[in-house]
Chain A
């Protein structure tokens, strides 16, 4: 799994998303991602994370999932601007 693979999957589900992904260990299984999307407006943190997890589907679930860890930060475009 590469940061680009992850980015592509997230953007397939959230087309407006601005996604940055970093491979934190260089091993292709631990990642750090920031996702900025209008799809998060009005949603709490659990729902936001679920949207991203759903986009990654089998890559994140099951004992053989290629992604072992994904540290996730989510923001709406407005929240991101305020940072």
Chain B
């Protein structure tokens, strides 16, 4: 990965405190897993930003390497990877997601 791409990925993750990298956008997700995470985030009521990786092939491949995580969606809070759809769903079911989304790091 080039330094330029690495920096661009870091900057993109830092765009929002709660940042979702997904296929499509919240209004029109292009994948069931991305749609599931959008639905859960909306339920929490916590504002979030998103990035459509389908529109950015370089970032789409680069972020997988950057985060050692081969799939989308990927949810970040304060720059830290919280997980993909399985983990977000699990944290939500255990009632732990809200705290992760709202706690100050």
Task: Find out whether the CB atom of B61 lies under 8 angstroms from the CB atom of A63.
Answer: yes
Q: Does B48 contact A (CB under 8 A)?
A: no
Query: What separation, in Å, do the CA atoms of A54 and B68 have in the docked complex?
Result: 8
**Known contacts A63-B61, A71-B86, A73-B86; A49 and B69 CB within 8 A of each other:** yes
Query: What separation, in Å, do the CA atoms of A1 and B30 have in the docked complex?
Result: 24
- B31's closest neighbor in chain A, by CB? A69
CB-contacts of A50-65 with B (<8 A): 50, 53-54, 56, 60-63, 65
Q: Number of B interface residues, CB 8 Å?
A: 16
Task: Find out whether the CB atom of A45 lies under 8 angstroms from the CB atom of B90.
Answer: yes
Task: Find out whether the CB atom of B86 lies under 8 angstroms from the CB atom of A46.
Answer: no
Query: What separation, in Å, do the CA atoms of A71 and B84 have in the docked complex?
Result: 9
Query: What separation, in Å, do the CA atoms of A57 and B100 have in the docked complex?
Result: 29
The contact string, 1 if C-beta is below 8 Å from chain B, for chain A 15-40, is: 00000000000000000000000000
- A48's closest neighbor in chain B, by CB? B87
Q: Does A72 contact B (CB under 8 A)?
A: yes
- Residue A70 contacts which of B71, B82, B83, B87 (CB distance < 8 angstroms)? B71
B87 contact set on A, CB distance < 8 A: 45-46, 49
Query: What separation, in Å, do the CA atoms of A53 and B70 have in the docked complex?
Result: 7
A63 contact set on B, CB distance < 8 A: 61
Can you list 5 pairs linking A and B with CB atoms under 8 Å apart? A46-B81, A50-B68, A53-B69, A69-B33, A73-B86
Residues of chain A whose beta carbon lies under 8 Å from any beta carbon of chain B: 45-46, 49-50, 53-54, 56, 60-63, 65, 69-73
Q: A60-B71, A61-B64 are in contact. List 17 more A-B contacts (CB 8 A).
A: A45-B91, A46-B69, A46-B81, A46-B82, A49-B69, A49-B83, A49-B84, A49-B86, A50-B68, A53-B69, A54-B68, A56-B70, A65-B70, A69-B71, A71-B85, A71-B86, A73-B90
